[in-house]
Amino acid sequence: MKYNKIMINTFDYKNANGYNVIQVWAKQTLQIRDQGRLDSKIDLLERTETNLLPKLLHTTTKRTKHILHLVINGEVAIRPMLCRGTIDFKNEFTFLFGATEKDRKLVPRDAPERADDNREDLILHPRHRCKHERFKKNLEGSVSR
């Protein structure tokens, strides 16, 4: 069976104050090395073949059936929460909330519910998102000279 490569567009959720929640989370929570690992996984997601998507993305809970998370293992288990769409459900994903995993439990524990709240807000306010930006780029731009 042959699968087509698709180009996935990625977006980030911005809260009502205009803050990109994934960028803020990554800057406050993740080390530079972990941000690079996250960039690499998102790059893979953006250029993957359709048959590989299930290997990259996992569902969270039955209560939050629209919420998926990327699995990025390492010293810190990174679990950014995302959803398909919210405009083009076939060709885009939107990052909604950042989480990590420790001892097989999400940190924060309510990350899927918070991501789902952000998804619902995004459905009501489609302008509460922006094109995903690489984490490393933001770091390079914020280094003081």
Q: Considering the domain boundaries, does residue 33 fall inside one?
A: yes
pLDDT at 137: 63
Q: Considering the domain boundaries, does residue 143 fall inside one?
A: no
* pTM of the model as a whole: 0.84
Q: Considering the domain boundaries, does residue 78 fall inside one?
A: yes
pLDDT in tens, 43-66: 888 887 655 565 667 676 677 888
Q: Considering the domain boundaries, does residue 11 fall inside one?
A: no
Task: Count H helices and E strands in the chain, helices first.
Answer: 5, 9
Domain that holds residue 28: 23-138
Number of domain units in the chain: 1
Cα–Cα nearest to 25, from 118, 135, 104, 123: 135
Q: Considering the domain boundaries, does residue 56 fall inside one?
A: yes
